[in-house]
Amino acid sequence: MNPTFLQTPIDYLKGVGPNRADLLRAELGIHTYQDLIHLFPNRYIDRTRYYTISELERNSSDVQIVGKVTSLKMVEGKGKRLVATFKDDGGTMELVWFRGQKWIKERLKLNTVYVIFGKTNYYNGNYSMPHPEMELLEDHKKSLRSAMQPVYPSTEKLSNKGITNKVVNVLMQTLFLEAKSHLHESLSKPIIEALKLMPKREALLNIHFPQSQSDLAKAQYRLKFEEFFYIQLQLAFKNRTHKTKIKGYSFEKVGPLFNDFYKQHLPFDLTDAQKRVIKEIRRDLGTHAQMSRLLQGDVGSGKTIVALLSMLIALDNGFQACLMAPTEILSVQHYNGLIELCKPLKTSISLLTGSTKASDRKILHEKLENGELDILIGTHALLEDKVKFKNLGLAVIDEQHRFGVKQRSKLWHKNEFPPNVLVMTATPIPRTLAMTVYGDLDVSIIDELPPGRKSIKTVHRYDANRLKVFAFIRDEIKKGRQVYIVYPLIQESEAMDYKDLMDGYESISREFQQPEYQISIVHGKMKAADKEYEMQRFIKGETQIMVATTVIEVGVNVPNASMMIIESAERFGLSQLHQLRGRVGRGAEQSYCILMTSFKLSSDSKTRLETMTRTNDGFEIAEVDLKLRGPGDIMGTQQSGVLNLKIGDIIRDNDILKVARSYAWGVVKDDPAFAKAENQIIRFMYAQMVKFKNIWSYIS
């Protein structure tokens, strides 16, 4: 075995040379033989299929046709080009060259049968093929090519500079001949045997030169499994390290505060999901490792009570707790809610936000430091250095996506050891993704709403039906309810969006006139104090209609608001629509969400609207969202490596991912030091992977 062979710089490969090497490095990140071997095809073209010109369809790509060139001419004009007339039995098309014309002219044989291959363009009833690959039929018959021809990732620059797919194919062949004996197994024997995986060398051979559909499928499975396996191995390892190395505060007992509250003062019966989650948290808190848990639960699923019970456990063990929310309004709501719940208990709770007066702050700081204060609730004002706890044991963070990693880490330093952390979010992360992304964070899910909650009725209406919608609003207001009307506000179109908002506000003011109706308006250009004032008017029920941009998205709780109208709903993302809808349905009344759109809708918009009207289940919505947008826009994915997958796809290959995950976590559990003989290969691979920060950069 020569471990350095595959690390040979790509320049040394026959057919590459310095120019091509530079291009491969710059465009595809290919530095070594190793990198080239792990350049996996995006797809395969079936070259057993031949088309006739009459069969072509407008967007058919990569077709192969048998025919003759009957004439050849240079066409002058904007961009000189060489044009050939190409005929088969049933039709005529053009072949076009913008470059390399001299070379073609000298070699192309008229009236001789060729097999051409490439993408077609359609213009004015005629088909053409720019820069076709051409081969004489007799050569074509003789050539050894596999029926499935791989298509490699490429860039415009590469193809412009002549590194076509065909060239990459040839390079791959050259490399394989040299490298074959250097390709070694990279998964352990027990795993390969248990799953009957194709051996590594064979898998690489078949991914590049598939001999049959079934061999290709096996090769793909093997390589996808391997990719997922090593990513999961990293996550499993991180998770273990966290549990064993990071010392945290252990809350050994469940004491009088928790028990008293749980047995006598719970305002309602907990749902089974809430009970399960509290158990999970209690178990975590009882260990000596720092808890780092993500609590996911749809809006209204009852996360607050879980937070409170967790905080009471901290208090029972002589620690303080804090609860941080992203906005002042939310902090105040939490504060009021918890004060109410804790009335029968002897606990001291305070609120700290940007608008806490300096004199109050001073007292608060003191009480916090001498331990008189048990629970502190507030905004990111909690993170300031001046805020020192006597003994912070648990930090609860609500609506985590509003806080950055850096802010969170500030909390870690509020005590000698990092406090236990519970992060609560109402933006469900699809299970698929949570599994891949949050290896080091444990996840709890409340997947059940409290009983008796009426699900929100959601409908889609076109702008043309606005009058009917207004009539509906009027009816609801007559019944004493309140209504949100939300407008999109997107950075790129900010000026236009404000105009829409203001136009909308005016037309609503005309339709719903004072003094019968009172309207609040809240948007990002207003001063904080004005926003707060308008918000409060709505919360207190002094206004019936709240016209707003998406500022109300996060956590506002007005149980009497039963109607959410979303204007230009086609412009919102799914998770945002779901979040907005969650502002209603918080009281006892039947709630409604109306999605207003114009007639012009893209197919993605239609899917989003259809999903919203079909389901209220945040997890189902998150899965659809993931399919529509891909993982790139979903939080956490940037750091997790799932975006840099070379062959696996967390959505399409989710089944493989699950298997890989269970094997990887199994190995770490069973043999965390990779000490067993059978795991030596994994140990070696893992070390390489950590070193090169890329799972395909190890030495095979």
Q: Which of 169, 220, 234, 301 binds ligand ADP (CB under 6 A)?
A: 301
Answer yes or no whether residue 667 interacts with ligand ADP by CB under 6 A. no
N- to C-terminal Cα distance for the chain?
Answer: 10
**Chain residue whose CB lies nearest ligand ADP:** 302
Report in angstroms the alpha-carbon separations of 508 from 65, 229, 531.
62, 56, 19
CB-nearer residue toward ligand ADP: 55 or 269: 269
Q: Are 18 and 25 in contact (CB under 8 A)?
A: no
Q: How far is Cα 399 from Cα 331, in angstroms, rounded to an integer?
A: 11
- Residue nearer to ligand ADP on the CB measure, 255 or 450: 450
Cα separation values, 489 from 521, 524, 599, Å: 14, 9, 20
Q: At what angle do helices 328-342 and 303-316 cross, to 10 degrees?
A: 60
Q: Look at the block and give the residue holding tokens 């999961």.
A: 232
Q: Are 90 and 104 in contact (CB under 8 A)?
A: no
Contacting ligand ADP within 620-659 (CB under 6 A)? none
Task: Give the one residue of 299, 322, 392, 486 binding ligand ADP; rule: CB under 6 A.
Answer: 299
Residue 297 binds to ligand ADP (criterion: CB under 6 A): yes
Work out which of 450, 500, 509, 590 binds ligand ADP, going by CB under 6 A: 450
Which of 305, 489 has the CB closer to ligand ADP? 305
Nearer to ligand ADP, 132 or 582 (CB): 582
- Strand partners of residue 444: 295
Distance CA 359, CA 617 (A): 46
Interface residue with ligand ADP, options 41, 132, 248, 300 (CB under 6 A): 300
Q: Which residue has the tokens 């206004």?
A: 543
Task: Say which DSSP state 632 is in.
Answer: G
Residue 303 engages ligand ADP in binding (rule: CB under 6 A): yes
315/312 Cα distance (integer angstroms)? 5
Stretch that binds ligand ADP, among 239-247, 301-309, 495-503, 640-648 (CB under 6 A): 301-309
Closest C-alpha to 174, from 13, 30, 4: 13
Q: How many amino acids of this chain bind ligand ADP (CB under 6 A)?
A: 15
Minimum distance of ligand ADP from residue 267's CB (angstroms): 7
Asked whether position 334 contacts ligand ADP by CB under 6 A, the answer is no
Segment interacting with ligand ADP (CB under 6 A) among 296-304, 482-490, 522-530, 672-680: 296-304
Structure tokens at 262: 């749980």
Q: Within 264-293, which residues bind ligand ADP (CB under 6 A)?
A: 268-271, 274
Structure tokens that stand for 660 in this block: 């890989």
- State the maximum Cα–Cα separation within the chain, in Å, rounded to a whole number: 98
Is residue 52 classed as helix, strand or coil in its secondary structure? coil
- At closest approach, how far in Å is the CB of 489 from ligand ADP? 23
Least CB distance from residue 659 to ligand ADP, whole Å?
33
* Spatial CA neighbour of 329 closest among 402, 266, 394: 402
In the window 408-427, what residues touch ligand ADP (CB under 6 A)?
A: 426
Nearest residue to 63 via CA among 80, 85, 78, 46: 46
**Residue range at the interface with ligand ADP (CB under 6 A); choices 46-54, 238-246, 295-303, 473-481:** 295-303
DSSP letter at 236?
H
Instruction: Tell me if 309 contacts ligand ADP by CB under 6 A.
Output: no
Distance, in Å, from the CA atom of 43 to the CA atom of 149, rounded to the nearest integer, reads: 8
Residue window 118-157: x/- pattern of binding to ligand ADP, with contact defined by CB under 6 A? ----------------------------------------
Q: Which is nearer to ligand ADP, 299 or 312 (CB)?
A: 299
| Residues 87-116: x where in contact with ligand ADP by CB under 6 A, - otherwise, as a string | ------------------------------
Write out the residues near ligand ADP by the rule CB under 6 A.
268-271, 274, 297, 299-305, 426, 450
